[in-house]
Amino acid sequence: MYADLLRYYRVDLAEVVGGRGPSPVLTLALVEGLPNDSAFHASCAAEETRSELAEWRAWQSRLQANLLAAELIDFQRENTRAQVGKRYRFTPHRRPGAKKRPRVLTVAEINGMSGPTT
């Protein structure tokens, strides 16, 4: 802001603070009237972008944590089924943002997908 006031209006902020320059009210009006290509506006825009990026990273982190939790739940359910046997019915945990539940494949279907072996 100091450099912008010097560059655009030739106002020394140190003189304003010392009481030798224009009034603080006028200086505030000058700051509010700085052009969009000033360093002050660029720093304000960078701060806004940083906060948006931090918000997106936090959202992404929560989404990944939820997906990982769903995978862990499914792994535990599959392990329980392997220990208990056919009495336990495995249902996949609902994924965040999923529209419908995924279809559970049988071992025969998985073996059929691998194709012919040579």
Distance (Å, rounded) from C-alpha 3 to C-alpha 118?
A: 75
Within a domain: residue 80? Answer: yes
**Total domains, the chain:** 1
What is the pLDDT, as a whole number, of residue 116?
56
pLDDT-derived band at 86, boundaries 50, 70, 90? low
Instruction: Give yes or no for a contact between 22 and 11, defined as CB atoms under 8 angstroms apart.
Output: yes
Q: How long, in residues, is the chain? A: 118
- Count how many Cα atoms sit within 13 Å of the Cα of residue 34 in the half-sphere of its side chain: 23
- Domain housing 95: 35-113
Q: How many CB atoms lie within 10 A of CB 27?
A: 19
What is the pLDDT, as a whole number, of residue 8?
84
What is the pLDDT, as a whole number, of residue 90?
67
Give the tens place of pLDDT for each residue, 39-61.
887 887 777 777 777 787 887 88
Q: What is the DSSP secondary structure assignment for residue 8, as one 8-state letter?
A: I
Within a domain: residue 11? Answer: no
Element (H, E) at 45: helix 39-84
What is the pLDDT, as a whole number, of residue 53?
75
- Mean pLDDT for the stretch of residues 104-112: 79
Higher pLDDT, 89 or 13: 13
The pTM of the full predicted model, rounded to 2 decimals, is: 0.38
Within a domain: residue 1? Answer: no
Give the residue carrying structure tokens 């304000």: 44
- Mean pLDDT for the stretch of residues 100-116: 72
